Amino acid sequence: MADSVFNEHAHKALAASYPALPAHLSHSLASHPLLDMEALAGLATRMRPETLEHNAAVDLPLGISNADTPVNGLSVHDTIARIDECGSWVLLKSIEQDPSYASLMRDVLAEIAPLIEQVTGPMLRMEGFIFISSPHAVTPLHFDPEYNILFQARGSKTMNLFPVADPDIIGQQFFEQYFAGGPRNLPWQEEWAARANPISIVPGEAIYVPLLAPHWVQTHDQVSVSLSLTWRSEWSFHHADACRFNRRLRRLGVSPRPTAIYPVNNKIKSYCQRALTRLGG
């Protein structure tokens, strides 16, 4: 990809925010042919079935659990074909399984790699996701274990972001359960609404979403297509393993100190967890 995805202003905004603060960015991917609906319908037919996810998505409670998310009675392919009127949400996961989308992901992330790597080190476990959503679709409150840039290609949406690892919203035990295989959706309390930082994006705009920042999303009046490109860092893997180690301690009756938030590291607990895992514990 010869042309830059981000302009100078976007590079500066990301540099000023990364890694702990969100950033509202601009990009040049809105008209990319791999992100039009025909191309995405074709991609869905080539993807592994386990990397396709879809559900009903209109009028969802913000604190709905993963297990209670309603189905829409359609196949994922019919959902994409009827996305303008079926009140649903489709997620294409690990799009890098397709060579064309893998190349797109690598090119975009390579552009920002020097900026990212001077702060949090090498970009690890890079993955791509595409969200295809009906008008007024809701993505409930959750957090992600990756750093993420969400690129809007069609329609518009608002993401409501909360501070990284907000202790009122994400308790330590929630982290511990998640990194042991638990769900990522979070419970919701209405008094939190005033604390959100809402960022709305249209085609040609993007949001840098910090690691561990709770957020919920709603599309506006049109079908929405968004590309999410994510990566991990050594710090993020140490944090996850420290959470697993804290869970071990808690099950032994110990009340562990909460895991640290960047830039403080969690290496001692992480290495203990990794050693116990290697020993089969």
Q: CA nearest 27: which of 151, 149, 147, 198?
A: 151
The Cα–Cα gap between 127 and 146 comes to 9
Q: What confidence score (pLDDT) does residue 1 get?
A: 56
The Cα–Cα gap between 197 and 193 comes to 9
The Cα–Cα gap between 249 and 259 comes to 12
Query: Residue 164: CA atoms inside 13 Å, Cβ hemisphere, count?
Result: 20
Tens digit of pLDDT at every position of the chain (281 positions): 558 999 999 999 999 999 999 999 999 999 999 999 999 999 999 999 999 999 999 999 999 999 999 999 999 999 999 999 999 999 999 999 999 999 999 999 999 999 999 999 999 999 999 999 999 999 999 999 999 999 999 999 999 999 999 999 999 999 999 999 999 999 999 999 999 999 999 999 999 999 999 999 999 999 999 999 999 999 999 999 999 999 999 999 999 999 999 999 999 999 999 999 999 87
Exposed, middle or buried by CB within 10 Å (0-12, 13-18, 19+), for 132? buried
Show the beta-strand stretches assigned E in 18-177.
23-26, 52-56, 88-93, 124-133, 138-142, 147-154, 157-161
Under a CB-based contact definition with an 8 Å cutoff, are residues 208 and 148 in contact? yes
Q: What confidence score (pLDDT) does residue 3 get?
A: 83
The Cα–Cα gap between 122 and 115 comes to 10
Under a CB-based contact definition with an 8 Å cutoff, are residues 269 and 246 in contact? yes
Map residue 217 onto helix, strand or coil: strand
Sheet strand arrangement including 138-142: 138-142, 215-219, 157-161, 197-201
The Cα–Cα gap between 61 and 55 comes to 14
The Cα–Cα gap between 205 and 201 comes to 5
Phi first, then psi, for residue 28 (nearest 5°) are -115, 20
Sheet strand arrangement including 124-133: 23-26, 205-209, 147-154, 224-232, 124-133, 88-93, 52-56
Q: What confidence score (pLDDT) does residue 2 get?
A: 55
Under a CB-based contact definition with an 8 Å cutoff, are residues 241 and 274 in contact? yes
What are 168's strand-pairing partners?
none
